[in-house]
A and B are shown apart, each in its own frame.
Chain A
Amino acid sequence: GAVVSQHPSRVICKSGTSVKIECRSLDFQATTMFWYRQFPKQSLMLMATSNEGSKATYEQGVEKDKFLINHASLTLSTLTVTSAHPEDSSFYICSARDLTSGAFWGQETQYFGPGTRLLVL
């Protein structure tokens, strides 16, 4: 199946600094990527939808100036947590939408990266 990578896998930073997380689709082109946040023992919460070449769409309650998303190419999306605070500590997961051509509906599947554990001290 398709592979999505994330870098770094874990990061520790000081409060007030910025952290960039990369999400790459390694063997397919992803016009759409998604960023999720997962707190311990909870489900995944969609933060934003990232479309190649356009501005990201943020979910209600997610600060777009704090969580900057850039999707500059069909294989790379980045999430930058600006002026990080301890409450931003979480597990961040990206996914990429693989929409193959052919059938009316295509073979719609999302593939997930391995996640990034962010700890803000």
Chain B
Amino acid sequence: AQTVTQSQPEMSVQEAETVTLSCTYDTSENNYYLFWYKQPPSRQMILVIRQEAYKQQNATENRFSVNFQKAAKSFSLKISDSQLGDTAMYFCAFMNTNYGGSQGNLIFGKGTKLSVKP
């Protein structure tokens, strides 16, 4: 069974600085997706960034980028120029999918609570 581990329950960063959130996962599959979701106090889950396992290039979305190390099964999220609105819970998630279709359910880590301080 796949598992997702986020070893940092809480982190804080000063506004405008850079922070990296860690995530490791365990799977025997070769094809899968990885995601980072943000959950602000409103509790709405918001997709931050996604990575397809077959792509070697790390995904980037504006101030958010990932460091995907497939062999090490590591998927960290870097937030540059942190803003107060980045304060939220961040969940790393794994989705196993393969040609022919699968249920596509997400497996979540326990989350990292990020606080951006002014």
Could you list which residues of chain A lie within 8 angstroms of chain B, going by C-beta atoms? 1, 32, 34, 38, 42-44, 46, 49, 57, 91, 93, 95, 97, 99, 104-105, 108-112, 114-115
A111–B91 CA distance with the chains assembled, in angstroms: 14
A114 to B110, Cβ gap below 8 A?
A: no
Could you list which residues of chain B lie within 8 angstroms of chain A, going by C-beta atoms? 31, 33, 35, 37, 42-47, 50, 52, 54, 91, 95, 97, 99, 103-111
> Which applies to chain A's interface (DSSP): helix, strand, loop or mixed?
strand
A13–B75 CA distance with the chains assembled, in angstroms: 41
A49 to B108, Cβ gap below 8 A?
A: no
Instruction: Provide the residues of chain A in CB contact with B52, threshold 8 Å.
Output: 105
Q: Which of A57, A91, A115 contacts B103 (CB 8 A)?
A: A57
Instruction: Provide the residues of chain A in CB contact with B110, threshold 8 Å.
Output: 42-43
B33 to A108, Cβ gap below 8 A?
A: yes
Closest 6 CB pairs of A and B: A112-B45, A43-B108, A43-B110, A114-B44, A49-B103, A44-B108
A110–B97 CA distance with the chains assembled, in angstroms: 13
Instruction: Provide the residues of chain A in CB contact with B109, threshold 8 Å.
Output: 43
> Can you show 14 pairs from A to B with CB atoms below 8 A apart?
A42-B111, A43-B110, A44-B45, A44-B106, A93-B43, A95-B45, A97-B104, A105-B54, A108-B50, A109-B47, A110-B95, A112-B37, A114-B42, A114-B43
A44 to B91, Cβ gap below 8 A?
A: yes
Question: In the complex where A46-B106, A49-B105, A57-B103 touch, is A109 in contact with B50 (Cβ < 8 A)?
Answer: yes
